[in-house]
Amino acid sequence: MKKLILASASPRRKQLLFDAGYDFTIETSDKEGVFDGITPPEKFAVRCAINKAEDVFSRQSGDDVVVLGADTIVCLDGKILEKPTDEKHAKKMLESLSGKTHQVITGYAIISSNMRETGKVVTKVTFNDLPKSIINDYLKSGLWQGKAGAYGIQDGYDLVKEFDGDYDNVVGLPVKAIDDTIKEFLK
């Protein structure tokens, strides 16, 4: 059996992969992508995932390793909402998402010595019309930190009205979509 490595520091990806029953280790990559403003968001997410997976894979030896890289972005009206830099930035993002539908895109890359699979999963998420009180409570919680679009669907706040697609994708890793591929790589 090959060894699975998750190329991510995300506690949410770690939990999703663990909950799916995988035995894996974590090795992070500092190969974050810089959005050029031209690349379509879906291609950007996949490119970031590839960069992370290739970086971690390049540090391995032997043929018994499979590396999974992923990158999740939030896209509103064709514009990427990255991780907020501070609370003021997070507030602006949450206000811009209020009452609107956006896309959550996770690009993924699975790499081994003789196989490579890349792809993306897109989920449409519609926010409730957010009163200032909910935005302020959420900001005070600090849960917005380190999250694309300044929110987590799993955080227990009444932010999301509905979603169309994979819930786990919005959390950070579309395990159902990549499960069979990972198992094939691990054989």
Mean of pLDDT over the chain: 95
Burial of residue 156 (number of CB atoms within 10 Å: 0-12, 13-18, 19+): exposed
Choice among 3-7, 61-65, 112-116 with the minimum mean pLDDT: 61-65
Catalytic residues: 71
Q: Look at residues 3, 14, 9 and name the one whose alpha carbon lies nearest to residue 168.
A: 14
User: What domains are there in the chain, each with its CATH number?
Assistant: 3-186 (3.90.950.10)
Q: Report the percent of the chain where pLDDT is more than 70.
A: 99
Element (H, E) at 65: strand 65-76
Q: Considering the entire predicted model, what is its pTM?
A: 0.94
